[in-house]
Each structure stands twice: as structure tokens, then as C-alpha cells.
Amino acid sequence: MANIHSKTYETMPSRQVAFLGLGVMGYPMAGHLALAGHQVTVYNRTPAKAQTWCDEFARSVAPRQAATPRLAVQDADFVFACVGNDDDLRSITLGPEGAFAGMKSSAVFVDHTTASAQVARELFAAAQAQGLHFIDAPVSGGQAGAQNGALTVMCGGDAAAFAAAHPVTMAFSRAVTHVGASGAGQLAKMVNQICVAGVIQGLAEGIAFGQQAGLDMNQVLDVISKGAAQSWQMENRGKTMVADQFDFGFAVDWMRKDLGLLLDEARRNGSRLPVTALLDQFYADVQQMGGQRWDTSSLIKRLK
């Protein structure tokens, strides 16, 4: 069960949609599309997961599963995907059983994978050559955001395709924004991860310092969260960091994947990211401590 929290969905005609990839994020995202009244066909590399999803949402508008991406997308106006990395994304889009081989002309593929800007541009061109549309649309908000239908989505691609997909995407989002041409969504997500990692490390150091000094850090966090130090991380992860709890969604392994993507991009475009490069190594330390699946606030474990 995905523990999906229903929300008020935008009133719009039911659309034929497909969702490829039912992981921690994709499962609830696809669920919100079904609850919003859309006709949803799902594909997952492990078919049993797709069957579980269909069973869970059987009371919505006749959910279906398909054996391949090509079969899943044949009737879809919009195809959504959320998989692991560049290679996973190529595997579900390209080739004889990939989505691009089955999509109808003018259909829109909306990719929520956090991937490279390069693969986004590659697939945008491949889709365009076939009369299709491709939007790179990575998300921020983590597992809780997906379950609550409150993700923030950063989109790159053609403005017209974005406008068509926007109201459907709002089923699992609180904000969906077009930030530029193909690849711009992935680049915006990289900016997001740079900022998030830096904030978490600052929070970790502050909490560790306060604990070493003998302060009641729950009280201190209550005080400073009302001032200039306030952040989403402080509000949502500060007290769990104090309590040494790190089971809240976005995992260290995933953050290292994202940091690797953005550090590669920085090398290509000449950006200097000294703090981010250091934090990547700090997360490597956490992995070596056995924290691969701890959430990203576990940076504080290095300091204790």
C-alpha cells in the first residue's frame, strides 16, 4: 500500500494516460492520476508490483497494466515515467518495445526521473523525430510529497507540450513550472540538490554543536526556526536528527546519484562547486557507515 493521501483534484475531462515505473515515487504519483479520474495504464519492470497497484486502485477508473512500455502507451495522450537513471530511462523509451515505438502521434512523454540534462536532450530529439513530445520534469518533495500529491515539478521542453500536460500533472503536484528548453528541468533539479545538501550540512553542524554544548536542541530549534535560520529541512528534519531517526524517504544512495549527475554537469560547464563536492564525499562516508538507505539528513551521523 502506498499510503496515498487524497486531495482536491482539478476538475477536467478524463484522459488516457500511462505511467511507467512504480517505485517509491511513481506508485503514489500514478495513484493520484487514477484518483483524479484518468484512465491509467501502468508498466513496471516487476509485473507483480503493477498488479498490486491495479488491485489497490480497482475502485478508480478501470486501471490496467501492460507487459511492455510499448503496450502501455498505445492509447495514451500523456505518458508519465519515473525510473532510476539515464540507462533505465533509455530502456523504457527506445527500442522495439520502448514507449516511443508505441506512442500515438503528438502524444506527450513527461519524464519525472532525475537524470542528466544530456539524456533529456537526446530523448527530446528522438521524440521530435517521431512526431512526439518529450518533457524533462524532475520533481522535488520526496516520498511524502508524492504521497500527498504535493510535488514541485521543474520542466524543460516545448512550451505548448508543457501547457497541454500541465493540468494532468497537477494531479500529484502543488507547482508545475516551465523553466526553459529541453534539459532545463534537469538543470533546475541540480540547483535544487546543491541547495538542499548545503542546508542539511549546516543544520547537522548546528545541531551537533548545540548538543555538544549541552543545549536542549528541540527547544533551540523551536526558537531559531522563527528567525533567519528557518528552512524546510529544519522544520521537517531538525527534531528527527536530534532523535537520531533517519527513515524519512529520500535515501543517501539517491542523493549520491544526483550529486554525481550535477558534478559531471559542473565539469562540463565550468562551474565551481567546492562545498557540493565535499558534501558528496561526506555522503560517501555515510554510505560506508551502512547508511545507504538512511534519509539525507543522516549527514549528522558523521559528527557524532
Residue positions annotated with a catalytic role: 189
Residue 22: strand, helix, or coil:
coil
Given a contact cutoff of 8 angstroms between Cβ atoms, the answer to whether 151 and 145 are in contact is yes
- Residue 261 CA, chain-centre distance (Å), reads 14
Instruction: Give 137's Cβ-side CA count (13 Å radius).
Output: 31
DSSP string of 119-135, one letter each residue: HHHHHHHHHHHTT-EEE
Given a contact cutoff of 8 angstroms between Cβ atoms, the answer to whether 299 and 222 are in contact is no
Rounded CA separation 231/73 (Å): 40
Q: Which residues contact 126 (CB under 8 A, 6 or more apart)?
A: 93, 94, 100, 134
First to last CA, the chain: 35
Given a contact cutoff of 8 angstroms between Cβ atoms, the answer to whether 35 and 57 are in contact is yes
